């Protein structure tokens, strides 16, 4: 049985004071949860979350990393730097990175490999745009995004990774994929991995992301191939985030 993982993606939100209040609220309400919990925060707040969450049941991570180990890459942050701040996870290939910062499948595959090499668990985001869904190419797009990573790192690498299916049209829009729509793509992803390695497929955590809220979390998380959530907006509110964690 796979343990569910609920991870918050704070995106470019927060301040030292806001984060302190948010994390205190989440810590206070954690109790004993079945699901694993993590927060992925902006780089400048990693020291704060490390100080606040060390010894707690909440893991933390970043939202991006450089594909390069070190060097003349002004403004970039390497995987080993994230390790220094105790990160367990790093989001790789979020649709906002792909769309706004031109991250190709090849760059995402390099970032995924860089994360693994440093001992971080990459949360690989895949997902189609509305145009792609309406054009009937959802599986082709998601399959291509997955293939790029498997071609570079091998299927065994997925044993140390998480995949997040995030339909682009559902991110931050309030439109959620129906449990059936999400389950179908999750099953497709797992089936694709199973064709390469059945054991890796069975153990693979595949999160759903895209306007997951307390009101829809239980039904989504109840699907057989949905193993958790990557949560944007609702992760900025302690009660909403906790409600989703409890549904897992």
Q: Which of 166, 225, 227, 240 binds ligand PEP (CB under 6 A)?
A: 166
CB 154 within 8 A of CB 117: no
Instruction: Verify whether residue 166 is a known catalytic residue.
Output: yes
User: Is 204 near ligand PEP (CB under 6 A)?
Assistant: no
Q: Which of 14, 93, 167, 209 binds ligand PEP (CB under 6 A)?
A: 209
Residues 169-188 interacting with ligand PEP (rule: CB under 6 A): 171-172
Distance CA 243, CA 69 (A): 38
In the bound state, the residue with its beta carbon closest to ligand PEP is 232
Measured over all CA atoms, what is the biggest interatomic distance in the chain, rounded to whole angstroms?
48
Q: Which of 4, 5, 11, 145 binds ligand PEP (CB under 6 A)?
A: 11
Catalytic residue among 103, 128, 166, 240: 166
Nearer to ligand PEP, 11 or 200 (CB): 11
Looking at the chain, the number of H-run helices and the number of E-run strands are 11, 8
CA–chain centroid gap for 208, Å, is: 8
The 3-state DSSP class for residue 150 equals helix
CA atoms within 13 A on the CB side of 61: 25
- Contacting residues toward ligand PEP, per CB under 6 A: 9, 11, 166, 171-172, 209-212, 230-234
């Amino acid at each position: 049985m796979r343990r569910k993982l609920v991870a918050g993606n704070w995106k470019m939100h927060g301040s030292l004071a806001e984060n302190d209040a948010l994390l205190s609220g989440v810590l206070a309400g954690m109790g004993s949860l079945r699901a694993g919990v993590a927060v992925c925060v902006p780089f400048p707040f990693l020291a704060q979350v490390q100080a606040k969450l060390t010894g707690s049941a909440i893991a933390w991570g970043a939202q991006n990393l450089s594909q390069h180990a070190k060097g003349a890459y002004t403004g970039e942050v390497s995987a080993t730097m994230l390790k220094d701040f105790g990160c367990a996870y790093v989001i790789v290939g979020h649709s906002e990175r792909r769309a706004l910062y031109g991250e190709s499948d090849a760059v995402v595959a390099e970032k995924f490999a860089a994360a693994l090499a440093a001992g971080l668990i990459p949360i690989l985001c895949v997902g189609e745009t509305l145009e792609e869904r309406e054009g009937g190419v959802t599986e082709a797009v998601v399959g291509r995004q997955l293939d790029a990573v498997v071609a570079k790192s091998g299927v065994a690498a997925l044993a140390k990774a998480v995949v997040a299916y995030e339909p682009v049209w559902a991110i931050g829009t309030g439109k959620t994929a129906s449990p059936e729509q999400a389950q179908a793509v999750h099953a497709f992803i797992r089936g694709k991995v199973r064709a390469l390695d059945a054991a890796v497929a069975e153990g693979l955590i595949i999160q759903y992301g895209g306007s997951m809220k307390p009101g829809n979390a239980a039904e989504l998380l109840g699907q057989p191939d949905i193993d958790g959530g990557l949560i944007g907006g609702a992760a900025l509110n302690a009660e909403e985030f906790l409600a989703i964690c409890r549904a897992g």
